[in-house]
Structure 1
């Protein structure tokens, strides 16, 4: 199937794009860092952005793809609390934004599945 070889590359591109956004436009990410985490939200934004860039590189390289994709699956699970925080915080926003925030939550499932599939490819 033609999609299989590209799927890990597309996952790597998604991770890289998100990682770059954490540095280029950090404020939206700062705002969804769970308040229960110690330290500055900006530091968590930078750490998660750097993590995504590292995962992107690992998924892109065939030699490290399996480990990188498995780590990406774990990362997608680990950031779920931030997505929950965003959905809760956006309770007073207009309905389309609230829907988008809540709609992000179930998207974690296909992201985890995608990463696990990339680990097998």
Structure 2
């Protein structure tokens, strides 16, 4: 992998590790965007944080990169109901941030970008 590819890999992996840590640091924020029909929201918030941290770390190793990439894609697909729920709820406050309908809608293509990014690491290994 070229130097640029490694830099983007580290950025992508770090993003998931930090996002996962944020589930423990800002738990209340995740309760706001958790669809009400999902059971045990606290458990799901912490579980998804652990999974994000683990997958971010697994991305860094050649032997586990493809596995991590596929799992990230599946995880991001599993998170789509939360993003759709955000669109339905907007406008609302997410911590100190006002999530407008436009912001909620813009999150969906960003999810597709993250899925494509993971797919790249699945294909390239």
| Fold conserved between structures, TM > 0.5 | yes
Partner of 1:68: 68
SS at match of 1:44: helix
Partner of 2:56: 56
TM-aligned CA distance change 1:50 to 1:92, over 3 Å: closer
Superposed CA RMSD: 2.0
Uncovered stretches (5+) of structure 1, i.e. residues with no partner:
none
Partner of 2:45: 45
Shift of 1:97: 2.9
Instruction: Name which structure has the greater RCO, CA cutoff 8 Å, separation 6+.
Output: 1
Q: Number of aligned pairs?
A: 120
Superposition TM-score, scaled by structure 2 size: 0.85
Q: Which runs of 4+ in 1 moved over 4 A?
A: 92-96
Superposition TM-score, scaled by structure 1 size: 0.87
8 Å CA contact 1:8–1:60 kept in 2: the answer is yes
TM-aligned CA distance change 1:26 to 1:3, over 3 Å: same
Shift of 1:6: 2.4
Cα distance in 1 for partners of 2:57, 2:98 equals 37
Cα distance in 1 for partners of 2:123, 2:6 equals 11
1:32-80 Cα shifts (integer Å, max 9, x gaps): 11112122x2211111111101111111222211111111111111101
1:74-114 Cα shifts (integer Å, max 9, x gaps): 11111011111112112366986332122101111111000
